[in-house]
Amino acid sequence: MSVQIGAEAPLITPGDFPGWIIHEDEHLLVVNKPGLIVCHPSKNGPWSSLVGAAREYLGLPTVHLVFRLDRETSGVVVMAKDSATASKLQKATQQRLIGKIYLAILTGQLAQPVTVDQSLGPDPDSCVTIRSKVVAAGTPGAQAAVTHFVPIANASGFTLARVRLETGRKHQIRAHALWLGYPVVGDKLYGPDESLYLEFAQHGWTERHATLLPLSRQALHCAEIDLRPAREPHVFRAALADELAQFCRERMGIATDGIG
């Protein structure tokens, strides 16, 4: 899908939506969300969000988002068609019974697997109120957070890594990657200058973005959601998004076929 890189999230073309579906049954709708598509409904109509598009596609008044992804993150999104299924999976998520695997392209060459066990909390010094940072346990707002980074390949100053979450804090992978010194490629908030985030929100993609960021969106992709620990017989997978695979080929010289 071709989208305009701007402050407003792109509208979803109704004909594209069925092609994003990974799995559908009487209880679940699972899709491979492109980057730049928002999950939650917006004021711009049903086709301006993943949930709105799902409601239109299914003809249902309500669709429950079990786990969300940031606008710029691509990959597996699970939605429930009924409140009972949604409640069950949301409780399983809170109990850390849902397995989540991401693929991320990091700035810098990470040589060895590493686990980050560092609390995250609001950044009082940030100009952006939603930004998190690593904080000491016991700090007001601190929440325990554990992320496992495993390099798959590294070349030309970048690393393609598989990332497994034990917790699900806001911006956890991105904040932990920055703390490690290997920020996610293309990250406007946790990258070289957080003011790029505000500038993008106001003006869309600018020349300064193109100068400072090697990719137009953050290189983060939800590759797998495993519901089996929650006693559901499903593992949902999505291959690395095309634009991220292209970055790996052209900037790193590596093929990503079969990586998920």
Q: Which fold has domain 8-95?
A: Pseudouridine synthase (3.30.2350)
Confidence of residue 230 (pLDDT cuts 50, 70, 90): confident
Q: What is the tens place of the pLDDT at every residue in 157-207?
A: 999 999 999 998 999 999 999 999 999 999 999 999 999 999 998 888 899
As a whole-number percent, the residues of the chain with pLDDT over 90 amount to 76
Judged against a pLDDT cut of 50, whether residue 130 lies above it is answered with yes
CATH of domain 98-253: 3.30.2350.10
Of the chain, the end-to-end C-alpha distance in Å amounts to 20
* Identical topology for domains 8-95 and 98-253: yes
DSSP code for 95 = T
Distance CA 3, CA 152 (A): 29
- Three-class SS of residue 9? coil
Mean pLDDT of the region 109-122? 96
Judged against a pLDDT cut of 70, whether residue 126 lies above it is answered with yes
Arithmetic mean of pLDDT over the chain: 92
Mean pLDDT of the region 113-132? 92
pLDDT of residue 6: 52
- Three-class SS of residue 249? helix
As a whole-number percent, the residues of the chain with pLDDT over 70 amount to 97
Annotated catalytic residue, options 16, 70, 193, 257: 70
Judged against a pLDDT cut of 90, whether residue 137 lies above it is answered with no
pTM, whole model, 2 decimals? 0.93
Distance CA 151, CA 110 (A): 6
> Is residue 70 among the annotated active site residues?
yes
Confidence of residue 7 (pLDDT cuts 50, 70, 90): low
Judged against a pLDDT cut of 50, whether residue 1 lies above it is answered with no
Judged against a pLDDT cut of 90, whether residue 95 lies above it is answered with no
Judged against a pLDDT cut of 60, whether residue 4 lies above it is answered with no
Judged against a pLDDT cut of 90, whether residue 5 lies above it is answered with no
pLDDT of residue 260: 64
DSSP symbols for 144-173: --EEEEEEEEEETTEEEEEEEESS--TTHH
Question: How do the domains of the chain map onto residue ranges?
Answer: 8-95, 98-253
Distance CA 203, CA 190 (A): 19
Q: What is the tens place of the pLDDT at every residue in 27-78?
A: 999 999 999 999 988 888 889 999 999 999 999 999 999 988 999 999 999 9
